[in-house]
């Protein structure tokens, strides 16, 4: 479990500046532009670095350039939060280039999901700074108001952030508490065995994915299980598993994997690759009650 003192970044106010970073793939510029307008409509100024996109194959830019932009934005005191342009692929390639000490010295909100999971989880674990699993710029282009409203609330609430989610599917009974950690299952699986492999001990683990058939989800969970990743997890919360097949079979698989741990498991949280993608803080204290289908979050 992360034993660093937790740091909750300052909240934003109207007129504050959000910096856009691209740790992963290049973006569809039409969707990117629409997403930027959504952020401006929220009342924020937005800075897009001139060299944010210098496409190299499927990446937004060369590794050193993507990392340099991120590190510069972290150190820039005029930038109050960072939102990732998109997910996709490539975030793992820059983890060794990220200045985690600078993040701790200049804590600010960092938002993303999907491939960005690798970054936001490691910021929390290596810097102690709470990060936010939420939409990227391109997904804001056509996001429902629920996604936009929750993101704005997360950006502006800071230490007063609270969220309650009910009517979740009970997959395995029980109650548990602990800080939240997690994100995209495939990305977390790819971190296994690396210096950036997360420590899930004592946490509430949340997972989501897209376009992964049941046998691949099984294979990823089995790999992580064999490394002992789940041995001391307090509870599990499942988000969207878009285009992954019958959700009841997915829930059955998770019950099979976690029943011996005797921890609560719930599903149906609207996070990840679904129409709605509500923002939740990694590192925030949470309580999960699978008997009542409830998840309660408070970062303090």
Catalytic residues: 114, 208, 273
Bridging pattern class, strands 285-289 and 294-298: antiparallel
The backbone torsions φ and ψ at residue 38, rounded to the nearest 5 degrees and listed phi first, read: -60, -45
Give the integer Cα–Cα distance in Å for 135 and 30. 16
Give the integer Cα–Cα distance in Å for 244 and 246. 7
> Do residues 298 and 156 touch, judged by C-beta distance below 8 A?
no
Structure tokens at 61: 């830019």
> Do residues 130 and 158 touch, judged by C-beta distance below 8 A?
no
> Do residues 203 and 179 touch, judged by C-beta distance below 8 A?
yes
CA atoms within 13 A on the CB side of 238: 28
Kindly give, in sequence order, each residue whose CB lies less than 8 Å from that of residue 16, ignoring residues fewer than 6 positions away.
44, 45, 80, 81
Helices marked H in the chain: 29-41, 63-75, 100-105, 117-127, 137-140, 145-157, 185-191, 214-226, 247-258
């Amino acid at each position: 479990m992360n034993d660093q003192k937790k740091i909750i970044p300052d909240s934003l106010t109207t007129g504050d500046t959000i910096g856009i970073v691209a740790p992963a793939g290049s973006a569809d510029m039409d969707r990117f532009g629409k997403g930027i307008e959504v952020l401006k409509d929220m009342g924020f100024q937005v800075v897009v670095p001139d060299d944010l996109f210098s496409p190299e194959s499927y990446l937004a830019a060369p590794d050193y350039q993507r990392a340099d932009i991120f590190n510069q934005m972290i150190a820039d005191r005029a930038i109050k939060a960072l939102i990732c342009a998109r997910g996709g692929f490539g975030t793992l390639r820059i983890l060794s280039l990220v200045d985690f000490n600078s993040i701790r010295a200049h804590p600010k909100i960092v938002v993303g999901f999907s491939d960005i999971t690798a970054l936001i989880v490691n910021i929390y674990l290596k810097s102690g700074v709470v990060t936010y699993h939420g939409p990227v710029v391109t997904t804001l282009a056509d996001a429902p108001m629920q996604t936009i409203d929750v993101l704005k609330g997360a950006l502006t609430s800071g230490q007063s952030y609270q969220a309650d989610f009910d009517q979740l599917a009970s997959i395995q009974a029980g109650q548990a508490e602990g800080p939240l950690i997690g994100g995209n299952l495939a990305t977390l699986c790819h971190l296994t065995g690396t210096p950036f492999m997360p420590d899930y001990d004592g946490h509430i683990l949340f997972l989501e994915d897209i376009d992964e058939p049941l046998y691949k989800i099984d294979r990823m969970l089995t790999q992580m299980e064999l490394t002992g990743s789940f041995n001391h997890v307090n509870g599990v919360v499942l988000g969207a598993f878009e285009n992954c097949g019958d959700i009841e079979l997915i829930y059955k698989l998770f019950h099979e994997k976690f029943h011996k741990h005797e921890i609560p498991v719930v599903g149906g949280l609207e996070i990840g690759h679904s129409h709605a993608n509500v923002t939740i803080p990694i590192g925030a204290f949470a309580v999960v009650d699978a008997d009542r289908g409830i998840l309660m979050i408070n970062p303090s």
